Amino acid sequence: MLADFFLFPLYAFVLLSIGFGFFRLVARTARFEVPVHQPGIVLLMGQFCIGCIALAANFFVGVAHPFVCLAIIVFFVLGLPWAARCTRKDLLLMLGLSALLVPLVAFMPAGYDAGLYHLPHQLWLREEKIVFGLANFHGRFGFGSFQEYISAPQWIGEHFKLHAYAKATYFIAFLMFLWQWSSLRKHHFVLLAFLTAITFLLFYLMGITKYIFWWDYGFTDSQAGFLFTMAFLYGVGLLHSATRKDAVLDEHVFVFSFLSLFAVMMKLSSILVLAWTACVYIILVSTKAVSLPRAIVPNILPLAALILFLVKNLIVSGCLFYPAAGSCLDVAWSARANAQGDSGWITAWARHPGSGLYSLESSAWLKNFWLPEYGAFCMKMLLITVLLAACSLIIHRLRKVAFSLDRIKMLGMVFLLLVLSFWFINAPAPRFGLGVFLTLPSFLAFVLLGEPAENEKYAERCKIMAKAVIIVLGVLLGGWNAKNISVDRWMGFDPLGVVSPAIVQDKVFGVRPKGSDQCWVVPYCSPYSRSAPEKRSGYLFFPPAQDQE
């Protein structure tokens, strides 16, 4: 673990430099200044840049090709001077949070889905250029999270230490985002940061983080949740600035769109955040806080990345939004049958795992599994929400704060309730809730608190409390416990390798795992029925399997 104290902060700094290199490209395209005061956001841009390079390259080569590594190095070199311009406080904050999370990343295990389809999919990306109909070989490959393209270039042989580092950087970026907001002069931002941080802390103290945030590498839910939360809060911040006639800069427009699109590309179930994004832009343009050209030009590169991502989806599965079967086109490699099966399976698994598809036709899943399993989670969530709401009302009453239910707060509450309903109908497992569980209680408390008074003394206290909570979150969620501070742990270093399962030859093509559905890093492995590939114009092509199981 001692080695991780050096390697993980170094990884974060390299990622920051890559992010600044990407931001320089965006700024030159959209003609705005490169800011150095949002290092948490730039950290995310580093991951996004790696994914964009891998995505673009995979149309022509496997992402293990030296060109991908060379392109990443170029962005690192371009961004290094700007990373050096960050303030000492920002760099120390990033490096300090990295150090706090070392116990989390040092021995982070692989999640079940890593062996099921994340690592096998990344192996295809590394070794083959884009494959037409790859979702016909393994239906889960149709999901195709952008995280696969971020992670595929970060293999070290068959060890995945960088995957653990990559996952933890989203948490660092989230905490840095809250820290930055808690340092602003506007009291609305400070309050939102404090309430979000205290909600997260209550999750930990009430023992429900294990339901929502899965820290094993190979899952994308936590990353999407952090991105969703930041996109929502950033939209609230833009609307607040517009109503107060404060300047809305082009860089703010870009960051907002970046967070929203990144969340959707990370996990398709985040797609409702695009509705929030559209509403925010409609209000900004209609109130003339932002002109229409200024709402479009900074977003050219993020939209181009999204379009490229959708083209990739179409090639891999024949669907724009797999597993939404309605988005599947009538092409020769369409995996519509797999999309229909996976869509139903996700809902059925979230309602009652391991029980077949009965929950798609009956509501008995509520009493058979869901309420007994998640009843305690729901009660704790309700308790946290009521506690925060009650505290807000008490403060509102004692300090005689003016109540203000403006359209920003109404729009935000309606959106969050819509997302909560969408989650419960489609995939009601807590880990699929993205950021709604974190944003709803904190934003409700913000609404009930009323219009914060411009009192510098209270604002300074709130800033101090917010930053204290953020540090406590880093310590608690970083895994600082008796087990992780033992001598053996301190002196050990785990490169995070994986086991290779026993396999059997498939009668059509490739291999199957023996006695399980996890392939890990075995080439051409899938537990499902598949067709034999064809070669067309130098690209592999998997037609739909004729004997689906």
Does the pLDDT of residue 549 top 50, yes or no?
no
User: Euclidean distance between the first and final Cα of the chain, in Å?
Assistant: 45
> Has residue 405 got a pLDDT over 50?
yes
Alpha-carbon span 189 to 194, nearest angstrom: 9
Q: Tell me what percent of the residues of the chain surpass a pLDDT of 90.
A: 76
Residues 310, 329: Cα–Cα separation, whole Å = 12
CB-based contacts of 284, cutoff 8 Å, min separation 6 = 238, 239, 242, 248, 290, 295
DSSP 145: -
DSSP 8-state class, residue 156: B
303: its two tokens: 């939209």
What pLDDT, on the 0 to 100 scale, is given for residue 398?
77
Range scoring the smallest mean pLDDT among 60-69, 244-253, 360-369: 244-253
What is the rounded CA–CA span in Å between residue 135 and residue 338? 8
Q: What is the pTM of this model?
A: 0.95
Q: Which band of pLDDT confidence, cut at 50, 70 and 90, is reported for residue 371? A: very high
Q: What is the pLDDT of residue 401?
A: 63
Cβ atoms of 509 and 100 closer than 8 Å: no
Give the per-residue pLDDT at 548: 42
Q: What is the mean pLDDT of residues 501-521?
A: 95
Q: Which residue has the higher pLDDT, 84 or 444?
A: 444
Of 228, 224, 209, 211, nearest to 473 by C-alpha is 209
pLDDT of residue 480: 84
When pLDDT is cut at 50, 70 and 90, the band that residue 508 belongs to is: very high
pLDDT tens track for 211-259: 998 889 999 999 999 999 999 999 999 998 888 877 788 888 999 999 9
Q: Which of 263, 267, 216, 218 is nearest to 118 (CA)?
A: 218
User: How far is 519 from 525, CA to CA, in rounded Å?
Assistant: 6
| pLDDT of 453 | 58
- Per residue in 72-122, pLDDT (tens digit) is 999 999 999 999 888 899 999 999 999 999 999 998 999 999 999 999 999
Task: Give the DSSP H or E segment for 405.
Answer: none
The string of pLDDT tens digits covering residues 163-174 is: 999 999 999 999
Token digits for 154?
């970060």
Give the residue-averaged pLDDT of 328-332.
95
What is the identity of the amino acid at 449?
A: L
Is 522:120 a contact under the CB 8 Å cutoff? yes
What was the pLDDT predicted at 402?
Answer: 62
**What value does the mean pLDDT take over residues 278-298?**
89
> What percent of the chain has a predicted confidence (pLDDT) above 70?
97
Calpha distance 437→452 (Å, rounded): 24
| Per-residue pLDDT at 266 | 97
d(CA 131, CA 539) in angstroms, rounded, equals 6
From 132-141, 231-240, 398-407, 497-506, the region with the lowest mean pLDDT: 398-407
Copy the structure tokens of residue 28: 């030159």
The total of other beta-carbon atoms located within 10 Å of residue 398's CB is: 8
SS3 breakdown of the chain: % helix, strand, coil, rounded to 5? 65, 5, 30
For 531, the token pair is 């067709």
Cα 518 to Cα 501: distance, rounded to the nearest angstrom: 8
Average pLDDT over residues 308-324: 96
Asked whether residue 124 carries a pLDDT value surpassing 70, the answer given is yes
Q: Are 514 and 23 in contact (CB under 8 A)?
A: no
Range scoring the smallest mean pLDDT among 57-71, 367-381, 532-546: 532-546
Rounded CA-CA distance 15/173 in Å is 11
Least confident of 34-43, 73-82, 110-119, 304-313: 34-43
Q: What is the dihedral of CA 273, 276, 280, 281, to 10 degrees?
A: 60
As given in the structure block, the two tokens for residue 298 are 């900074």
Which phi and psi angles does 319 have, rounded to 5°?
-125, 145
Q: Where are the domains of the chain?
A: 3-360
Gap between the Cα atoms of 376 and 48, Å rounded = 37
Q: Quote the CA–CA distance of 462 and 450 in Å, as a whole number.
A: 15
Nearest to 441 by CA among 195, 260, 252: 195
Helices (H), 184-272: 187-205, 209-212, 221-243, 250-266
Amino acid occupying residue 549 = E
DSSP letter at 519 equals -
Q: 3-class SS at 525?
A: strand
Q: Please give the helix or strand (H or E) that residue 234 lies within, else none.
A: helix 221-243
84-93, pLDDT tens digit by residue?
888 899 999 9
Closest to 261 (Cα-Cα) out of 295, 231, 294, 238: 231
Q: What is the mean pLDDT of residues 481-491?
A: 76
Cα separation, 438 vs 212, whole angstroms: 9
Q: Compute the mean pLDDT over every residue in the chain, rounded to the nearest whole number.
A: 92
Distances from the Cα of 548 to the Cα of 136, 313, 325, 417, 527, angstroms = 10, 21, 16, 38, 12
pLDDT digits (tens, 9 = 90+) for 408-442: 899 999 999 999 999 999 999 999 998 999 999 99
> Do the beta carbons of residue 225 and residue 213 sit within 8 Å?
yes
Beta strand 539-541 pairing with 503-505: unpaired
